[in-house]
């Protein structure tokens, strides 16, 4: 397998050797097919594997088995393999295997917040509590491989999330020779929050990543967390290249969640290597179609201009990687092969037809024999019937970052929610109390007698106000109309359907 370094990929066309844009490692997402799909959209973005556990790799060293975890297409360079584990020797052995496969870099996962991960051998984000042990792991890995060994971590874990804690963690781990830290700019709660909640509830603190850049000028840092558009990535990187319409220095400070004028394109530290996008790239992959031009300054015309071109290029890959004739192919493998395309039509007419056709076709046994390329073709035909011009519409170019607007990722988070900094158990207890109190208030309201005007009630004199008809309003008088619901003041109101398609 041919190794192609980051410098080799980025040379020429005025591009940078820095990993300016990185596609984050995501379990059950950034597998081989997804990475190839990303490479169709960008020649230069740095791709990452899913986390590979050291034991899993070392117990499957036979070439055919090992390829399931480390196999990749040569066009995927620059590519990083992320390892998970806590045993220095095992991780060093696994790093050797990764290097033999030709990866450009190996990374240690010190940021995964899953309680399941934290309880098995103590790896992932829980390792941040043992900074000396992380230092020893990286030192062991560095002694065995020549490729860079990096660390992906968070700002802290549980109650250990102060600036001093993060500073001490980086300072200690750097003693191992680690030169690059990818920082997810929020803490993690190991108990009380799910991995998905840990991507959104703990508040982001971008300014602390800048502080680390200034505190450790000899180290390199990348920013992760809450980045969901290329316009936002451009602002975080100081608006590289020619500026887009509406781009200005104020957007740089806004992207970094800093006061106006405190951060500018000229004040960003040189050791800020890049930014990492995760769920945004999965949920809205077409935003990457002109990232080489907007982030790396590549002057070549993007090879992909429409969704049809992208899907046809990916279909060719599927025909080669997953050829027809496999009678044992499962629905799960078909889903994994086509999953990278599911975000292409998000929010557009034709999205429902595409997903429905994909799901229906892959469940048919004869189609599983023909392979995922056949299913993709059928789904494309369904889109053409639902929205004939969609596949051939030109993709929209990158636009300027709009602070406060979420453009397609699920990683966006609140920036100043102080409540989310408290332990989840306390927040849950308070939420339960609030919910109980609200339920009691609603119950009291339901017990109050309903007041309905009747003919026996006193009426204004006919001399001042015209008398009302003797027949009472059926809507007001009916305590529970067949197609209505009761509001808090005892009046029946028509029920309005609020469901969306």
Structure confidence by residue, pLDDT tens digits, 17-31: 899 999 999 999 999
The whole-chain average pLDDT of the chain stands at: 83
Within 8 A by CB and 6+ apart from 194, the residues are none
The model scores a pTM over 0.85: no
* Beta partners for residue 81, in sequence order: 106
**Burial class of 69 by CB neighbour count within 10 A (0 to 12, 13 to 18, 19+):** buried
DSSP collapsed to 3 states, 410-478? CCCCCCCCHHHHCCHHHHHHHHHHHHHHHHHHHHHHHHCCCCCCCCCCCCCCCCCCCCCCCCCCHHHHC
Rg (CA), the chain: 28
Residue with tokens 């290597």: 273
What dihedral angle (degrees, nearest 10) is formed by the CA atoms of 416, 418, 422, 427? -100
Q: Report helix, strand or coil for 109.
A: strand
Asked if 60 and 93 touch (Cβ cutoff 8 Å), the reply is no
Residue 265: name the closest of 249, 247, 254 by CA.
249
- Cα separation, 285 vs 282, whole angstroms: 6
* Beta partners for residue 182, in sequence order: 152, 222
Quick one: pLDDT at residue 428? Answer: 47
Asked if 459 and 467 touch (Cβ cutoff 8 Å), the reply is yes
In 10 A of CB 365, how many CB atoms?
A: 9
Quick one: pLDDT at residue 238? Answer: 97
Any idea what DSSP says for residue 155?
S
**Average pLDDT for residues 199-205, to the nearest whole number?**
95
Q: How many angstroms separate the Cα of 340 from the Cα of each of 140, 242, 336, 413?
A: 36, 31, 8, 24
Quick one: pLDDT at residue 453? Answer: 44
- For residue 154, pLDDT over 90 is answered with yes
- For residue 499, pLDDT over 80 is answered with no
> Which string of DSSP letters, residue by residue, matches 26-38?
-TTTSSHHHHHHH
pLDDT tens-digit series, residues 232-286: 999 999 999 999 999 999 999 999 999 999 999 999 999 999 999 999 999 999 9
Residue with tokens 């056709």: 357
The better pLDDT of the pair 395, 417 is held by 395
- Cα separation, 107 vs 151, whole angstroms: 6
**Average pLDDT for residues 291-307, to the nearest whole number?**
96
At 386, phi and psi to the nearest 5? -80, -35
Known catalytic residue at 115: no
Lowest mean pLDDT among 4-13, 99-108, 304-313, 339-348: 4-13
- Report which secondary-structure segment, H or E, holds 292: helix 291-294
At residue 444 the predicted structure's pLDDT band, cuts being 50, 70 and 90, is low
- Report which secondary-structure segment, H or E, holds 316: helix 307-321
Residue-wise over 386-404: b if at least 16 C-beta within 10 A, else e? bbeebbeeebeebbbbeee
Asked if 157 and 128 touch (Cβ cutoff 8 Å), the reply is yes
Lowest mean pLDDT among 95-104, 108-117, 335-344: 108-117
Asked if 199 and 279 touch (Cβ cutoff 8 Å), the reply is yes
* Beta partners for residue 493, in sequence order: 485
User: 140 is written with which tokens?
Assistant: 């062991």
Q: How many angstroms separate the Cα of 203 from the Cα of each of 118, 198, 199, 239, 279?
A: 21, 9, 9, 25, 17
Catalytic residue among 81, 112, 125, 213: 112
- Cα separation, 291 vs 44, whole angstroms: 9
**Burial class of 179 by CB neighbour count within 10 A (0 to 12, 13 to 18, 19+):** middle
Quick one: pLDDT at residue 412? Answer: 37
């Amino acid at each position: 397998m041919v190794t192609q370094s980051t410098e080799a990929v980025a040379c020429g066309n005025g591009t940078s050797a820095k990993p300016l844009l990185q596609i984050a490692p995501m379990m059950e997402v950034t597998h081989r097919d997804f990475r190839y799909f990303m490479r169709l959209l960008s020649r230069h973005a740095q791709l990452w594997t899913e986390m590979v556990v050291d034991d899993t790799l070392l117990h499957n060293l036979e070439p055919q088995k090992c390829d399931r975890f480390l196999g990749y297409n040569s066009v995927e360079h620059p590519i990083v393999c992320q390892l998970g584990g806590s045993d220095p020797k095992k991780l060093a052995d696994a790093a050797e295997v990764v290097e033999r496969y030709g990866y450009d870099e190996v990374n240690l996962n010190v940021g995964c917040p899953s309680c399941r991960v934290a309880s098995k051998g103590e790896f992932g984000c829980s390792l941040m509590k043992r900074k000396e042990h992380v230092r020893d792991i990286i030192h062991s890995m560095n002694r065995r491989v020549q490729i860079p060994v990096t660390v992906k971590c968070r700002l802290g874990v549980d109650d250990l999330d102060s600036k001093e804690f993060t500073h001490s963690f980086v300072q200690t781990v750097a003693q191992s020779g680690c030169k690059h830290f990818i920082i997810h700019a929020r803490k993690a709660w190991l108990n009380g929050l799910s991995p998905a909640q840990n991507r959104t509830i703990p508040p982001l603190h971008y300014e602390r990543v800048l502080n680390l850049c200034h505190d450790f000028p000899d180290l390199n840092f990348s920013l992760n967390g809450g980045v969901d558009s290329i316009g936002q990535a451009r602002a975080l990187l100081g608006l590289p290249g020619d500026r887009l319409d509406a781009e200005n220095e104020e957007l740089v400070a806004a992207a970094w969640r800093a006061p106006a004028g405190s951060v500018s394109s000229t004040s960003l530290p040189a050791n800020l290597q890049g930014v990492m996008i995760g769920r945004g790239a999965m949920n809205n992959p077409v935003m990457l179609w002109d990232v080489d031009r907007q982030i790396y300054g590549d002057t070549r015309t993007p090879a992909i201009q429409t969704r049809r071109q992208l899907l046809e290029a990916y279909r060719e890959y599927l025909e080669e990687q997953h050829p027809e004739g496999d009678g044992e192919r499962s629905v799960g493998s078909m889903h994994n092969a086509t999953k990278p395309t599911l975000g292409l039509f998000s929010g557009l007419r034709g999205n429902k037809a595409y997903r429905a056709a994909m799901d229906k076709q892959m469940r048919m046994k004869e189609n599983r024999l023909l392979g995922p390329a056949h299913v993709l073709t059928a789904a494309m035909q369904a889109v053409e019937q639902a929205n004939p011009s969609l596949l051939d519409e030109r993709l929209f170019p990158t636009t300027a970052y709009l602070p406060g607007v979420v453009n397609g990722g699920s990683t966006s988070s609140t920036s100043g929610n102080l409540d989310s900094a408290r332990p989840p158990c306390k927040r849950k207890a308070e939420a339960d109390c609030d919910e109980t109190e609200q339920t009691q208030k609603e119950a009291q309201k339901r017990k109050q007698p309903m007041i309905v005007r009747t003919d026996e009630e006193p009426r204004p004199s006919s001399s001042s106000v015209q008398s009302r008809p003797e027949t009472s309003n059926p809507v007001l008088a009916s305590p529970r109309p067949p197609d209505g619901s009761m509001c808090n003041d005892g009046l029946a109101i028509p029920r309005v359907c609020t469901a969306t398609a």
